[in-house]
Amino acid sequence: MRPYILAETNWEALKNAKFDLAVLPWGATEAHNYHLPYATDNYQAEAMTAESAKIAWKKGGKVIVLPTLPFGVNTGQSDIYLDINLNPSTQLAILADIVEVLNRQGIYKLLIFNGHGGNNFKPLVRELGLKFPKMFISFCFFPQVVDKNSYFEEKGDHADEMETSLMLYLKPELVLPKEKWGDGAAKSYKIKSFSEGWVWAERKWSQISEDTGVGNPHESTKEKGERFFKDVTQKIGEFMFELCEADLKDLYE
């Protein structure tokens, strides 16, 4: 039993416990090229939050990791079989209920650990910050924690070299043999402004990728995934500890 994982602990341990920080892993259920499982984002988020919390806990941080939410925003993948979509408004309702519980029970710090690129928590955090002024709500998206280019050769953002390497490290038994991997070739908008990044529109997934991947996974290795995982979780674990120790009335300098 890991005392910092809510799903594993018990009332005997919790009846007199007090935590400073709750961590909410939030993933998705969606196709990841031909070779990775639909729960890739969930496996990654669950493993990373658990390892990061372990690091913070060993330093003395009172952190508790909530169960992973397995469905995310997949509005651009409505025609991909069994990609499960939560609308942003549904996410807000779920998050509001969770925040209400934490606020009522005196856990005023929440870190949302985002494991899925389609989730956008900024407007949700803004709205809930007004509704629950005692709460300090933050979120992170793990591919941005370190420079991906220092770990992986191929660019991509879905079932790419990074995600495939992570899954070869975390759940190799769920990764299909290499001959089954698609190449992750993806189309870009013909209008250049979208590619430059200053204009955004949602991608229609079935029109940009034949295998649902975006990014060539064929240079992926377990060793790359392990190195990335350890560096990301070390950095996040140190942040979790800092957040546990932080005085919410004295956050700025």
* pLDDT given at position 119: 98
Distances (CA, A) of 159 to 22, 58, 173: 28, 32, 16
CB 33 within 8 A of CB 211: yes
Q: Is 140 helix (H, G, I), strand (E, B) or coil?
A: strand
Amino acid at 21: L
pLDDT at 236: 98
Sequence-distant (6+) residues with CB within 8 A of 237 are 51, 52, 53, 54, 55, 56, 59
**Tokens 């070390």 sit on residue:** 234
Half-sphere exposure of 211 (CA within 13 A, CB side): 20
pLDDT for 84: 98
pTM as predicted = 0.96
Instruction: Please report, for residues 31, 52, 227, the alpha-carbon distance to residue 168 in angstroms, rounded to integers and kept in the order given.
Output: 17, 19, 12
In this prediction, residue 95 carries a pLDDT of 98
DSSP state of 67: P
In the chain, the domains with their CATH numbers are 11-158+230-245 (3.40.50.10310)
Q: Mean pLDDT per 10-residue run, the chain (253 residues)?
A: 97 97 98 98 98 98 98 97 98 98 98 98 98 98 96 97 98 98 97 95 96 98 98 98 98 96
pLDDT of residue 143: 96
